[in-house]
A and B are shown apart, each in its own frame.
Chain A
Amino acid sequence: MRSRLNLYALTFRLPIIVWQALFFIGPLIFVVAMSFFVVKNYRMVETFELESWAKMVSRDYVWSAYRYTLLMAGSAAALATLLAFPAAWFLAFRCSARTRQLVILFLIIPFFTSYLVRTFSWYTILAEAGVLNGAFGLFGLGPYKMLNTAFGTLTGYLTLVLPLVLILQTVTMANIDDRLIQAARNLGCSPARTIRTVILPAGKTGFVIAALFAFILSFGDFVAPFYLGGSNPPTMPILIIDTTKAGQQWPRAAVVAVMMMLTLFVIAFSAIMYAYRKRASR
């Protein structure tokens, strides 16, 4: 359409540019800049020095937190992808469109219940004297230690990402051209082989994007590793909280934030390249 610039067009463009510059771009640039500031006598001095970077990059605990966060977020993404797949497949191919819509509608509910309260609820479920161990006790089992372990952290991550991954996978598979699957079946393909040779390649983009979302959300979440994993070992988001809230060392927290952003940028970029690569060549 016409792209004549007038007062009318500007009314719908300028407010957003100004607003996002003030409250989104500004803060983001500032946090990058802040990683080069230094703290002197409990006051932040705006300068350009590599002091905080040098300090953080030379610490072992930063790198072990970094590796641990990558590992846990990666595991959460992989687990969510694997766990959701059979359910999504069932919803996409063995349910009516109406049932599918209803289940998806139902799965949206968790996004609007407080994640914090759900985590607290898991805390009471997984605790030593909690609901699950109480139930085990009725059968003379346990108690098992589930809190303050990697298991606890992963449970929290999955609570956060599983509904999203399940919805995205279901929608992806429901949108695969039905004729492809019919053709595979007519040619004598078993369901397992159909999944491998038809569904996985056709839905690649959707599956990768779903896993990427799961990774990003888990990577940035502090609630699950803090309350269910007991901060032991801490993850990158917990380092940010500790250095900001307790130490007043904002520049160091900024270093951690920038490390996280760079990592996510690289991972998101490679995942998206991978997700769309085959599509383009076809």
Chain B
Amino acid sequence: MTLFLRAYLALIVGFIFLPIVVSMAFSFNDARFPTLPLSGFTTIWYETIFADPDFWRAAKNSLIVSGCTCVIATFLGFCTAYTDYRYSFRGKSLFLAIILLPPTIPLIIIALAMLAWFSRVGMSGQVVSIIAAHTVLTAPFAMAIIRLRLSQIDESLEAAAWNLGASEWRAMREVILPFCKPAILSSLFLTAAVSFDEFTVSWFVSGLNKTLPVHVLEIVQGTIDPQVNAIGTLVFGVSITLVVISQLLIFFRLQKAAS
């Protein structure tokens, strides 16, 4: 029974990881159309994308977008988490809802809403519009991570700082912020990773300022092109590095909390 269940678990995990593994394998395969058995090894797909100015332009946009998004989203997430931690006031659940709700609405609807709204207020097709949209999408993740950290703080720490004559601002700077630092860093990496992979909203609002996933989307629409596997593998490398750093920060934080 245990053996059977172990095999079943392996099967499910295998299903989840099959496309990732296949994509990586075929990014080095020299057949135009990916199939089994594998043919020769090549790096031509990587060379193709590196020689493509569109790729570099999209990569630059992606870096700008996720770089700005992670800072703003983490700031928003921190403010919400701190407000939730410290204050109770009328309409607080509404306040929390407006920042936590976006992930429950399908991206395609948010994408259409953003497209229409940005073109109405004269912000359409700019890198700034993608950033604004992505901050709304990723701030809830930042809020969750930082709120979790704040729930571990000893509430009397901040009060002690006030009693010793620190202003609220100083207590924030010298007690709350240092305590939240690992969560803030972790949130920066995580929101950057989410933003780096997002394509639905980017596709709708980006106009000519394509990000990397939108670039992929447009290649995929045309033909079967193993370039996509190469870009996918590269993007995977970037995202996973960000996530691993983020996870390590959380992990060490938990280790510290445990000891």
Q: Do A and B come from one complex?
A: yes
Judging by beta carbons under 8 Å apart, are B95 and A131 in contact?
no
A45 to B132, CA, bound (A): 26
Given contacts A16-B99, A19-B76, A20-B98, contact A83 B12 (CB under 8 A): yes
- For B35, list chain A residues within 8 Å (CB): 124, 127, 129-131, 133-134
Among B2, B16, B83, B104, contact of A159 (Cβ-Cβ < 8 Å):
B16
Let me know if B239 is at the binding interface, CB within 8 A: yes
Let me know if A23 is at the binding interface, CB within 8 A: yes
Interface residue total, chain B, C-beta cutoff 8 A: 80
Chain A 202-238: CB-based contact to B (< 8 A → 1; otherwise 0): 0000000000000011011110000100000000010
- For B148, list chain A residues within 8 Å (CB): none
- For B182, list chain A residues within 8 Å (CB): none
- For A5, list chain B residues within 8 Å (CB): 89
Let me know if A117 is at the binding interface, CB within 8 A: yes
Interface residue total, chain A, C-beta cutoff 8 A: 87
Which residues of chain A in 228-281 are interfacial with respect to chain B, using CB atoms and an 8 Å cutoff?
237, 240-241, 244, 250, 253-254, 257, 260-261, 264, 268
Let me know if B105 is at the binding interface, CB within 8 A: yes
Minimal Cβ-Cβ distance residue in B for A11: B79
Highest count of chain B CB atoms <10 Å: which of A94, A124, A166: A124
Judging by beta carbons under 8 Å apart, are A107 and B16 in contact?
yes
Taking the closest CB of chain B, its distance from the CB of A129, in whole angstroms, is 6
Minimal Cβ-Cβ distance residue in A for B20: A113
Let me know if A13 is at the binding interface, CB within 8 A: yes
- For A1, list chain B residues within 8 Å (CB): 86-88
Judging by beta carbons under 8 Å apart, are B87 and A135 in contact?
no
- For B204, list chain A residues within 8 Å (CB): 244
Among B105, B106, B108, B231, contact of A117 (Cβ-Cβ < 8 Å):
B231
Judging by beta carbons under 8 Å apart, are B108 and A222 in contact?
yes
Given contacts A23-B135, A109-B240, A114-B236, contact A120 B109 (CB under 8 A): no
Judging by beta carbons under 8 Å apart, are B228 and A31 in contact?
no
Among A108, A114, A125, A222, contact of B232 (Cβ-Cβ < 8 Å):
A114
Q: Identify the stretch in A49-57, A85-93, A176-184 within 8 Å (CB) of chain B at 4 or more residues.
A: A85-93
- For B114, list chain A residues within 8 Å (CB): 23, 27
- For B89, list chain A residues within 8 Å (CB): 3, 5
Given contacts A108-B243, A113-B240, contact A12 B82 (CB under 8 A): yes
Given contacts A91-B9, A117-B229, contact A264 B106 (CB under 8 A): yes
Judging by beta carbons under 8 Å apart, are A28 and B113 in contact?
yes
Among A138, A219, A244, contact of B36 (Cβ-Cβ < 8 Å):
A138
- For B67, list chain A residues within 8 Å (CB): none
Judging by beta carbons under 8 Å apart, are B116 and A241 in contact?
no
Given contacts A86-B5, A90-B8, A118-B19, contact A250 B116 (CB under 8 A): yes
Judging by beta carbons under 8 Å apart, are A24 and B112 in contact?
no
- For B107, list chain A residues within 8 Å (CB): 220
Judging by beta carbons under 8 Å apart, are A17 and B106 in contact?
no
Among A22, A110, A124, contact of B34 (Cβ-Cβ < 8 Å):
A124
Minimal Cβ-Cβ distance residue in A for B137: A24
Let me know if A168 is at the binding interface, CB within 8 A: no
Taking the closest CB of chain B, its distance from the CB of A141, in whole angstroms, is 13
Given contacts A16-B79, A118-B19, contact A23 B236 (CB under 8 A): no
Judging by beta carbons under 8 Å apart, are A124 and B135 in contact?
no
Minimal Cβ-Cβ distance residue in B for A158: B15
Chain B 25-69: CB-based contact to A (< 8 A → 1; otherwise 0): 010000001111100000000000000000000000000000000
Let me know if A116 is at the binding interface, CB within 8 A: yes
- For A166, list chain B residues within 8 Å (CB): 12, 16
Chain A 61-104: CB-based contact to B (< 8 A → 1; otherwise 0): 00000000000000000000001101101110010000000010
Judging by beta carbons under 8 Å apart, are A124 and B15 in contact?
no
Highest count of chain B CB atoms <10 Å: which of A31, A90, A116, A250: A116
- For A201, list chain B residues within 8 Å (CB): none
7 pairs of A and B residues whose beta carbons are closest in the complex: A220-B106, A117-B232, A134-B36, A121-B19, A27-B113, A27-B117, A31-B113
Chain B positions near chain A (C-beta within 8 angstroms): 2, 5-6, 8-9, 12-13, 15-20, 22-23, 26, 33-37, 75-76, 79-80, 82-83, 86-89, 95, 98-99, 101-102, 104-110, 112-118, 120, 132-133, 135-136, 168-169, 172, 193-194, 197, 199-200, 204, 213, 216-217, 220, 224, 228-229, 231-232, 235-236, 239-240, 242-243, 247
Contacts A16-B99, A220-B106, A244-B115 known; 17 new A-B pairs at CB < 8 A: A12-B80, A28-B105, A31-B109, A86-B5, A109-B20, A112-B193, A112-B239, A114-B236, A114-B239, A117-B19, A117-B236, A120-B220, A120-B229, A127-B35, A131-B36, A220-B105, A237-B108
A–B complex contacts, Cβ < 8 Å, 24 sampled? A1-B88, A12-B82, A22-B132, A24-B102, A83-B12, A87-B5, A90-B2, A90-B8, A103-B9, A108-B243, A114-B235, A115-B197, A117-B232, A119-B19, A120-B23, A127-B35, A134-B36, A216-B104, A220-B108, A240-B109, A244-B204, A257-B108, A257-B113, A264-B106
